[in-house]
Each structure stands twice: as C-alpha cells, then as structure tokens.
Amino acid sequence: MIAIAAIGVLAFLAGLVVLHAGRPGAGAARPHSSADWPHSSAARNAHAVEAPKWYGFVPALLLVVAAVAIMLWVLSSGGRWVWGESIGDWQSDTRTTAFTAVMVALGIIGLVTAVVFTVVQAAGRPVAKPLAEAGPGGAETPAAPTPSGLRLLGLLLLAVAFLLMCWIALPRADQYALMLQLVYPASLGVALVLLFDKASRTWGARGGAETAREWLLCDALVFVLFLAFLNLRGEHKPEAYGGTFWDLLNVALFFVVFWLIDRKASRFRFLAGYAYFVVLPILLLIWRAVLGIAAPGELSWWSSIWPFFILAVVFCGLEIAALSAPAASGRQAFPIVKDALFVALYAILLIVAASAGGHG
C-alpha cells in the first residue's frame, strides 16, 4: 500500500508538471486596449496556449501501470512478499477482499483511461510540414506520416499476440527458453545498436548538457537490461517459470523510455527515465513472487530492492521539482550533477547488493 501511494502521488505530480508547462508564461501580458489586440489568425495562434504534448503524460502512465501490476501481484501471491514478511491470507477476510477488488478496479480504470488519453493525444498531434513524395503520373502528393500512437498500438498488438501464444500453446519451459534465448538477446542487440547509432550522430539541435544527460540515463537503462537478462539466466527451474508477462513488460518499457530519452525533445523525457527506475524494483519484486523465489533470510535491507526504489523515488521527485522551477530551462549544471549522482549512487547500491549475494 505504501508503494502504491507513492506511485499515485508521483503520477499526480507528473500530471501537474505537464499542466503547469502548458500555461502561459508569467511575463506574457494581454494588451490593455481592444485596438492593440491582434485580430489575425497568426497573432491569435501566437497568444494561444499550447496544449500539453502527449508524451508528457508517459511518466504518469508508467506509474499507473506499476500500480496495476502491484495489485495483480497481490492477487497472485496471496499477500506475500511485503517487506520480506507475510501479511496473511487476504482472501480469508471479506473486508480485505472487497478493498482489494475496489483497488484493482480503480487501477484498471485509471490505466485504461491513461492509455486512451495518450493514444488520442498522439493520434491528434499535428504535423507542421509533411514531406512530399511522387505520386501516380509524377505529381507530388503530401506524405502522411504515421501517428506515434498508431505505431505504439502496432507494437502493442504484436506483444499481445506473443503473450497469447505463450499462454495458450507453449509450456513454461519453452516460454523460459524463448525469453532467455531470443527475446532478451535480441533486445540487448537492438539496445547496443541504438547506442552505437547515438554515438555516430554528428548532428542534432540539442546542446551538450542535454546530450550528456541522455548518455547517462541511456547507458544506465542498457546496463539494467543486462542485469535483467542475467537475473533470468540465474533461474534454474524452467518448468516453473511463469514470468513471461513481466519480462516482456520490462523489455517493452525499456524501449519506450529509451526512445523517449533518445529521440524526443520534450523536457519530460528525463522524468520518464526516472519513472522507469521507480517501476523497475517493483517489477523485480513481482517477478520473484510469481516464480516463487524466496529472499534469503540473512539478506540485509541494503541488499534488497527497497534502497533502489527509494533512491529512484527521491530523484524522480527532484526531477519534478526541477521541471516545476520557473527558470528550469536555463539551468544546465544542476540536472547534469543530479543525473551523475543518481547513476553513481545506483552503481554503489548494485555493488553492495552483488557483494552480499542479492539480486539488487
């Protein structure tokens, strides 16, 4: 419940940041007389408030997905794996069952609403200057770029088909082999190609400070994807493997967040990166519970997932505070120092967890 509350607060704050960014600046004043007020369409568009971009809501969407995943995990694990201790059988109490059902329903409603709103915003995004291509007879016809929402839905359809194939036709051992020998290696290969593509670019409209931030977070994202593969490889019971959905969700979130940070120009793309690091420990907790992996009894708190979760929540809050600052766009030193400190602290926690024999 504490994790769900934290995720809900962060999702609410992320939404506030997006709405705050869409407001007119404080220095923009309305003309005093009606004669001074421009009447042309260009002038009206210049004074109009730009609607929030659809990708600004992605961090909140990721957090809602995490909340729904937590509730599904609670239902499947019977109330185990909460801070390393059992909270009892939640199904034995009627009030607890009703409360869980309400929370799951609210989470599903919120997730569906967020997905629909994001897709609608993406599909309705205008294109400034569409490219022209040669049509029949040599005449040039304006190209119609595919909306980002439609592209995301196409990938989502493939992911759903993959999950249905695994759940209907494949035994658990084959699902494990498919994830270990195909999905994760292919994802790691694509991630390395994306990094080399990023390194080979000599052009771009972004400054050196933003590029440095992108490299810090993109390298960290690829490294934790390596750790996820090693974590799956360390599972020695393929016949009991049941984490196909959670592993595929992790891979999908990785590519979405990497694409936002690397390819988009929104200020909220770094917030999406921190939101992913908030969701990642929860996904690992659910993955362990689904596979029935018991935490070692002598495992210290610093070797568990909670230091990683708290660290990501703190820096996610700092990123939200930085975005909410009036002069956030003009400050470059603080974001770089903050990202470098986050990566350094995350690496220290990984070293501590590895030395203690934990999975981080």
**pLDDT tens-place string over residues 231-252:** 999 887 888 898 999 999 999 9
- Which of 25-39, 208-222, 294-308, 334-348 is least confident? 25-39
pLDDT band at 138 (very low <50, low <70, confident <90, very high): low
pLDDT tens by residue, 282-336: 999 999 888 888 766 667 787 888 899 999 999 999 998 888 876 555 566 788 9
138: left (phi over 0), alpha (psi -120 to 50) or beta: left
Cα–Cα distance, 47 to 43 (Å, whole number): 6
Which of the four pLDDT bands, split at 50, 70 and 90, describes residue 122?
low
For residue 142, give the 3-state DSSP assignment. strand
Q: What is residue 85's predicted lDDT score, i.e. its pLDDT?
A: 44
* Most confident region among 51-60, 106-115, 124-133, 245-254 by mean pLDDT: 245-254
Give me the chain's average pLDDT, please.
74
CA angle centred on 251, ends 248 and 252, rounded to 5°: 85
Domain ranges of the chain: 2-23+50-125+147-355
Both structure tokens of 187: 């994802």
